[in-house]
Amino acid sequence: MDESTKDQSAFASPDSMASLDFAKMALESANVGIWVMDAESRNFTPSDRTKELFGFASHEEMSFDDAVSRIAEKPRQAFLSIVDNAFKLRTSFYAECPVVIPPDRKTEWLSVTGGFNTSDKTNNYFSGIIVNITEQKQNDLRRSKFIGIVSHELKTPLTALKAYVQMLNTWAKKQKDNFSLGALSKVDRQVKKMLNMINSLLNLSSAEAGKIHLNKQAFSVNDLIHQVIEETMFVTSSHNITIDECPDVNIIADRDKIEQVIVNLLSNAAKYSGKDEPIEVACTIENNAITISISDKGMGISQEDIEKLFLPNYRAETKEIEKIAGFGIGLYLCSEIITQHNGRIWVESALGQGSTFSFSLPL
Ligand code: ADP
């Protein structure tokens, strides 16, 4: 077998060689790496380009563990859980990870896509592609730095505005001026909405720079959920939010950040479901962890979109979603916050039937 066909042997039967030659040519010109792995034996076959992307020479052996050892230490475990989960459930996955390339320890960003090869009878082969996305990541970082600066500037006058609204509110109450009280309550609602948006943008820029700081304290999950529901009903009065009785436990976590996660999930449930449709919040304790779930009866999400939902700026590409305003950063932030707490966030959904977003935190 000559060198140029060596890479393909793991992927092809002889009669499919011609089309594979074609596919290989296209992938090489696009600088895309390919790989195959036997899910049973974990035998890993990378293409030359895949080796190169992980900083190995084409003549060197590179096992799956060798490749993983080049992923930066912090996100390595998260990457392995994504792959293990896809192996277990036989689903496809998409992950973006920084790899550290010797000898000068330069960081490059790779996107890794994988899925089961359903045409293979043994149904054991997992294969996928790898692309270098460093340039795109650097642009994202520059953009989020800019967003961080602008949001910070916008927050200062808005915080002052909020304080003045509160002062005027107290004054109007004393004067029993109902017209002003009504108008101020509307102003307050809009200021709160805008502050929520600005806080999300600020957190996005910290998350992308890997700088989410947690300020942990003990608090009651039950109290937090009730407070968030009350405030969400104030801003989003169109939905009926109900709560299954939540066990009264304290957890040690960053209260403001967990609040932000619940606010995001609740406002998405309202945003992506019809007016007056019910939203349910449930809370369970199992295996020394608390799980909070938020269910809606809205438009639901396709399997293909579910895999990418927690990536920054990702929005499902449907006609319905296009009509609804959003930046696609809320779920990314939720996932960053929950991962920082050593928790887990996931979604179960079916198109047209609704979605349940859940997250669990260790007790
Ligand atoms: P945004 O809502 O601003 O677009 P998010 O990160 O909160 O950003 O959500 C990302 C995408 O996930 C949304 O654009 C939408 O496609 C999908 N999504 C999130 N929550 C729901 C939900 N409850 N029902 C249906 N789709 C949802």
Does 16 score more than 60 pLDDT?
Answer: no
Q: What residue owns the CA closest to ligand 1's atom 25?
A: 300
Cα 47 to Cα 27, 38, 130, distances in angstroms: 11, 15, 10
> What are the φ/ψ torsions at residue 273 (nearest 5 degrees)?
-135, 160
**Position 144, amino acid:** S
| Rounded (10°) angle between helices 178-208 and 330-340 | 60
Residue 37 contacts residue 126 (beta carbons within 8 Å): yes
Q: What residue owns the CA closest to ligand 1's atom 7?
A: 330
For residue 5, the model assigns a pLDDT of 42
Does 71 score more than 70 pLDDT?
Answer: yes
Question: Separation of 243 CA from ligand 1 center, angstroms?
Answer: 21
pLDDT tens digit sequence for 50-60: 999 999 998 99
Ligand 1 pocket residue status of 327, Cβ below 6 Å: yes
For residue 359, the model assigns a pLDDT of 96
Rg, C-alpha atoms of the chain: 24
For residue 8, the model assigns a pLDDT of 45
Q: How confident is the model at residue 7 (pLDDT cuts 50, 70, 90)?
A: very low
pLDDT tens digit sequence for 146-191: 888 888 788 888 888 888 999 999 999 999 999 999 999 889 888 8
According to DSSP H, which parts of the chain are helical? 3-6, 17-29, 48-53, 64-69, 73-89, 134-175, 178-208, 221-235, 255-271, 303-306, 319-322, 330-340
For residue 357, the model assigns a pLDDT of 97
Q: What residue owns the CA closest to ligand 1's atom 13?
A: 315
Does 234 score more than 90 pLDDT?
Answer: no
Q: What residue owns the CA closest to ligand 1's atom 2?
A: 326
Helix, strand, coil percent values for the chain (each to nearest 5): 50, 25, 30
User: Which segment, 23-27, 85-89, 134-138, is predicted with the most confidence on average?
Assistant: 134-138
For residue 13, the model assigns a pLDDT of 53
Residue 337 contacts residue 212 (beta carbons within 8 Å): yes
Question: Separation of 265 CA from ligand 1 center, angstroms?
Answer: 9
Question: Separation of 198 CA from ligand 1 center, angstroms?
Answer: 18
pLDDT tens digit sequence for 305-346: 888 888 877 888 888 887 887 778 889 889 989 988 989 999
pLDDT tens digit sequence for 40-50: 788 899 999 99
Ligand 1 pocket residue status of 297, Cβ below 6 Å: no
Does 248 score more than 80 pLDDT?
Answer: yes
Q: What residue owns the CA closest to ligand 1's atom 3?
A: 326
Question: Separation of 300 CA from ligand 1 center, angstroms?
Answer: 10
Question: SS3 of 208, please?
Answer: helix
- Give me the residue label for tokens 């054991």: 124
Does 2 score more than 60 pLDDT?
Answer: no
Question: Separation of 255 CA from ligand 1 center, angstroms?
Answer: 23
317 C-beta neighbours (distance < 10 Å), count: 10
Question: Separation of 353 CA from ligand 1 center, angstroms?
Answer: 15
Which residues 6+ apart lie within 8 Å of 363 measured at CB? 249, 251, 285, 288, 289, 290
Atom of ligand 1 nearest to the CA of 316: 16
Does 239 score more than 50 pLDDT?
Answer: yes
pLDDT tens digit sequence for 253-277: 999 889 989 988 998 999 899 888 8
Atom of ligand 1 nearest to the CA of 296: 23
- What's the rounded Cα separation, in Å, for the pair 49 and 57? 9
Ligand 1 pocket residue status of 301, Cβ below 6 Å: yes
Which residues 6+ apart lie within 8 Å of 1 measured at CB? 9
**Position 34, amino acid:** I
Ligand 1 pocket residue status of 316, Cβ below 6 Å: yes
Atom of ligand 1 nearest to the CA of 272: 24
pTM recorded for the entire structure: 0.64
Which residues 6+ apart lie within 8 Å of 52 measured at CB? 33, 58
When the pLDDT of each residue in the chain is averaged and rounded to a whole number, the result is 85
Residue 36 contacts residue 125 (beta carbons within 8 Å): yes
> What are the φ/ψ torsions at residue 202 (nearest 5 degrees)?
-65, -40
Q: How confident is the model at residue 123 (pLDDT cuts 50, 70, 90)?
A: low
**Tokens representing residue 115 in the block:** 């899925």
Ligand 1 pocket residue status of 311, Cβ below 6 Å: no
Ligand 1 pocket residue status of 295, Cβ below 6 Å: no
**Tokens representing residue 211 in the block:** 């700088």
